């Protein structure tokens, strides 16, 4: 199995992603945004950061990077693709996942640990996770508020495409646990084909025991298992 982490100008979590997957003993390569070759990677990661300085809209410029032609083709062939934070924003701009990411309701950048409750039972990323567990995962974003129109929101829920919801430490999905004002506490969604995953929190920042939290490793291990299945 080979994993490719795309690097855009302004990416700042690319090395975090590389390190996290290398902790799982996987081969990882960095893919430059101007490249046209995915180097035979089975799984592509769009990492967090501030691609192209977040000019225009978060992810809006990166969506048109040369490598995105190959990334989109990879996803359309059924290949696995995951976007984390800014990567999720890029997926939304490319319409690879439903919805958009808007400015946090607080109008402030938020950087802290939050809790997530896995939801989808049909998406490979979450199907093997414990739905009764609240996973402690860091967030770091100013534009993480998930939004979709009523029809899209209904479709995402009816199709079991909600990957995670923000919850409290006991796993309760509450308004108080909704850190950024996302509709229905949604923290991540997948596409209808269930091979493209987007989430705002950073599992790669909670994968190393040296950091005192390995809940993110459980999510990444599930992702790797899904790709290998």
* Active-site residue list: 85, 202, 204
Residue 169, number of CB atoms within 10 A of its CB: 11
- The answer for residues whose C-beta is within 8 angstroms of residue 28's C-beta and 6 or more apart is 2, 3, 4, 5, 17, 18, 21, 22
State how far the Cα of 44 lies from the Cα of 78, in Å rounded to an integer.
12
Strand 162-167 versus strand 186-190 pairing type = antiparallel
**CB hemisphere CA count around 29 (13 angstroms):** 14
Contact 225, 201 (CB under 8 A): no
SS3 78: coil
Q: What is the dihedral of CA 122, 48, 93, 107, to 10 degrees?
A: 110
Tokens matching residue 140: 């770091």
Contact 203, 221 (CB under 8 A): no
């Amino acid at each position: 199995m080979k994993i490719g982490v795309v690097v855009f100008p302004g990416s700042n979590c690319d090395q975090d992603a590389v390190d996290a997957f290398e902790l799982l003993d996987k081969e990882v390569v960095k893919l430059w945004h101007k490249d046209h070759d995915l180097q035979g990677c089975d799984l592509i990661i769009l990492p967090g950061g501030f691609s192209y300085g977040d000019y225009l809209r978060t992810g809006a410029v990166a969506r048109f990077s040369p490598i995105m032609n190959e990334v989109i083709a990879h996803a359309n062939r059924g290949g696995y693709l995951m976007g984390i934070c800014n990567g999720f924003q890029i997926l939304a701009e490319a319409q690879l996942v439903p919805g958009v990411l808007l400015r946090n309701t607080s109008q402030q950048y938020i950087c802290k640990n939050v809790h997530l409750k896995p939801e989808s039972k049909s998406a490979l990323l979450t199907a093997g996770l414990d739905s009764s567990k609240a996973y402690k995962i860091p967030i770091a974003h100013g534009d993480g508020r998930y939004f979709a129109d009523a029809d899209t929101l209904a479709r995402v829920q009816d199709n079991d495409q909600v990957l995670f919801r923000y919850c409290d430490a006991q796993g309760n999905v509450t308004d108080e646990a909704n850190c950024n004002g996302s509709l229905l506490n949604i923290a991540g969604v997948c596409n209808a084909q269930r091979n493209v995953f987007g989430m705002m929190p950073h599992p790669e920042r909670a994968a190393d025991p040296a950091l005192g939290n390995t809940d993110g490793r459980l999510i990444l291990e599930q992702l790797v298992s899904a790709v290998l299945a």
